[in-house]
Structure 1
């Protein structure tokens, strides 16, 4: 989040990026890097809107978030939030199971924001795969790029700014297979999708995606035919010596 963002639009984008499908998405925007001049205002609004998210049964049309996929994954999310606390992160909201009337014992977890996070913390380096957002501040754009690239993963990321040229300059330096600008989770079947580093080496979608189903073949045809002067193969590759 660069310091010239449209605040209302960018906060909604951050929420969508991390809490879509409860954060159980390979490209979830779980690390939020915010420029310091807007950090306090951004976090205040982000926290407020996060607390308005209604957790409930997935089949209830009034629910904003459903349950975690399994008991094992719910316990994994809880464990990571505890790890974050022990590492020194602040729980700005959430950080506990959600109580849903009529569904006691369900695998529900409150959307969670962790502040005061450093890039070397486990909650910033490892994949939680749940509704947990970690927030890190930055000063200059070069620091934002460094923080964004400080990961073994590189599937997707986003840059938010009111200046597209500025955003593109940052996006070009981010080592992920996809970078959305002022948007997130928008998969277009015309364009390739895939990761860098430990997020994979293949691509799906688009013309490039078809290459995953192809094998390359090289065919050579001698267009000179029998009339062309022939030479031993070594005459074609080894330079002839001259002089004494």
Structure 2
């Protein structure tokens, strides 16, 4: 369902203005539907209401402070300088009554190469890089071409195929037809430079435990102890 995939991709990127460790900042799109997806992403993103986080009508709030706002601006500028095409956003959002807030418009780039800074580094802001692919193998290779591996997502009606792709993506969590939702019974953590260890579930409890091995020979005999022969006893 392309409607859900479009909305879900924006949810993955723009929740909390992209200030989530597992935000979906890269979107790999089949070349055959690339232009349609871009048009619908832009239309939906431009319809999001930006405002105070205390307003229940708000879809996207501000960045946390000035330094993060400036960081996002630098990444957007780097995307432009490296040749990506800015199709929406890329500037401060003016919110009535919140003149001092660090609001930033939902930002979408196309013509992104996977080696660009905006595709390879963690921006922690509302910036989505759309990358075109020809085959699923290409998409998997580009998805895994990152020093990070915390979270990712797959959108497909073909669940067996989506599961096959999910198993090959090198991230600690992969959502299929959803994003951001966590389960208290399931492990959460990353691969590569996205950390070690796990939270949640029994795996998370083990992080707070110390493991001990106790070896007991309940019926010791001289014949069993090969090391007695080594010692010549």
Q: If the TM-score is normalised by the length of the shorter chain, which range does it land in?
A: over 0.9
- The answer as to 2:173 corresponding to 1:183 is no
How far off its partner does 1:105 sit?
3.0
How far does the alpha carbon of each residue in 1:179-220 deviate from its partner, in whole angstroms, 9 at most, with x for none? 111110010000001000000111001111111011111111
Distance 1:125 1:230, change over 3 A: closer
Distance 1:95 1:235, change over 3 A: same
How far does the alpha carbon of each residue in 1:102-147 deviate from its partner, in whole angstroms, 9 at most, with x for none? 2223211001001110001011011000000000010111100011
Q: Which runs of 5+ in 2 are unaligned?
A: none
- The answer as to 2:83 corresponding to 1:88 is yes
How far off its partner does 1:171 sit?
0.9
Match of 1:212 among 199, 207, 210: 207
**Partners of 1:38 and 1:222 in 2: CA distance:** 66
Q: Which has the larger radius of gyration?
A: 1
Which moves more between the two structures, 98-107 or 7-16? 98-107
Q: Which runs of 5+ in 1 are unaligned?
A: 1-5, 238-244
> Which residue in the other structure is 2:37 paired with?
42
Match of 2:192 among 184, 197, 209: 197
Which moves more between the two structures, 37-46 or 155-164? 37-46
> Which portions of structure 1, spanning 4 or more consecutive aligned residues, are displaced by more than 2 angstroms?
227-232, 234-237
Match of 1:119 among 100, 103, 114: 114
Match of 1:99 among 90, 94, 102: 94
How far off its partner does 1:236 sit?
6.8
Which residues of 2 match residues 22-41 of structure 1 at below 5 A? Answer: 22-41=17-36
Distance 1:29 1:230, change over 3 A: closer
> Which residue in the other structure is 1:154 paired with?
149
Output the aligned Cα RMSD: 1.6
CA contact (8 A) 2:151 2:172 kept: yes
Secondary structure of the structure 1 residue equivalent to 2:57: coil
**Partners of 2:60 and 2:219 in 1: CA distance:** 69
Distance 1:236 1:164, change over 3 A: farther
- The answer as to 2:124 corresponding to 1:143 is no
Q: Provide TM-score, normalisation by structure 1.
A: 0.91
How far does the alpha carbon of each residue in 1:64-109 deviate from its partner, in whole angstroms, 9 at most, with x for none? 1111000000010011000100001111110000011122232110
> Which residue in the other structure is 2:159 paired with?
164
